[in-house]
A and B are shown apart, each in its own frame.
Chain A
Amino acid sequence: GQNIDQPTEMTATEGAIVQINCTYQTSGFNGLFWYQQHAGEAPTFLSYNVLDGLEEKGRFSSFLSRSKGYSYLLLKELQMKDSASYLCASMDSNYQLIWGAGTKLIIKP
């Protein structure tokens, strides 16, 4: 079957670094997406990985290991506005996104 696993909730301190992990198992693979979703709002695109390695985009980085079916999202210099849910999604062989339930990130001052 198809499955995406990520932690339900994480807590971190303002100014610190946090890593949100995601493991995936899908029928075929056409890339791994990370989205951010603030409470009551729509998901917004953060990053896309299709090759192994680290993609850096400002304070956010995303890593992919295809052989391990594993990705992580790294958030540096955390700000209060980073409090949100982070959604991991794998694109399968039909180019459909299979979504994890999301990780709620709580930032404490």
Chain B
Amino acid sequence: IAGITQAPTSQILAAGRRMTLRCTQDMRHNAMYWYRQDLGLGLRLIHYSNTAGTTGKGEVPDGYSVSRANTDDFPLTLASAVPSQTSVYFCASSDREDTQYFGPGTRLTVL
């Protein structure tokens, strides 16, 4: 693989279900990010990780959790999905102070 991959590409989920969005990068970047993008709004940061083993909360962290067990993977978990979490989710990575590179996104619909 080259760059950042995300899975699944899209998902329809019943409210109350648990869901993990996967993100893997092979660029050995230290920092990784999860954003959500909603129509008419800018990208909003959910959680981030500056290096493996550490995570931090972004602008809209409620209802989401992350882990960073190694450099390459940064999964995002919705413990109990709600309709307001319907969005497009982008994972990104960077060498912290440098340019962020984005994965292809996951389109999530919560019914």
Contacts and interface: CB of A to CB of B under 8 A. Distances in A.
Interface of A: 4, 30, 33, 41-45, 48, 87, 89, 91, 95-102
Contacts of A101: 40-42
Interface residues of B, number: 19
- Interface SS of chain A: helix, strand, loop or mixed? strand
A100 B104 contact: no
Interface of B: 31, 40-45, 48, 58, 90, 96-97, 99-105
A54 to B, nearest CB: 19
6 contacts: A41-B105, A42-B103, A87-B42, A99-B43, A99-B44, A102-B42
A45 B42 contact: no
Does more than half of chain B's interface fall in helix, strand or loop, or is it mixed?
loop
Contact of A48 (B41, B96, B99): B99
Contacts of A98: 42
Contact of B96 (A43, A95, A102): A95
A100 B99 contact: no
Given A41-B104, A42-B105, A43-B102, A96 B97 contact: no
Interface centre among A33, A89, A95 (most CB of B within 10 A): A95
A95 B97 contact: yes
A37 to B, nearest CB: 9
- Residue from the set A4, A43, A44, A45 with the largest chain B CB neighbour count within 10 Å: A43
A30 B97 contact: yes
B48 to A, nearest CB: 7
Given A41-B104, A42-B103, A99-B42, 18 more contacts: A30-B97, A41-B105, A42-B90, A42-B102, A43-B43, A44-B102, A45-B99, A48-B99, A95-B31, A95-B96, A97-B45, A97-B100, A99-B43, A99-B44, A100-B42, A101-B41, A101-B42, A102-B42
Contacts of B42: 4, 87, 89, 98-102
A41 B104 CA distance: 6
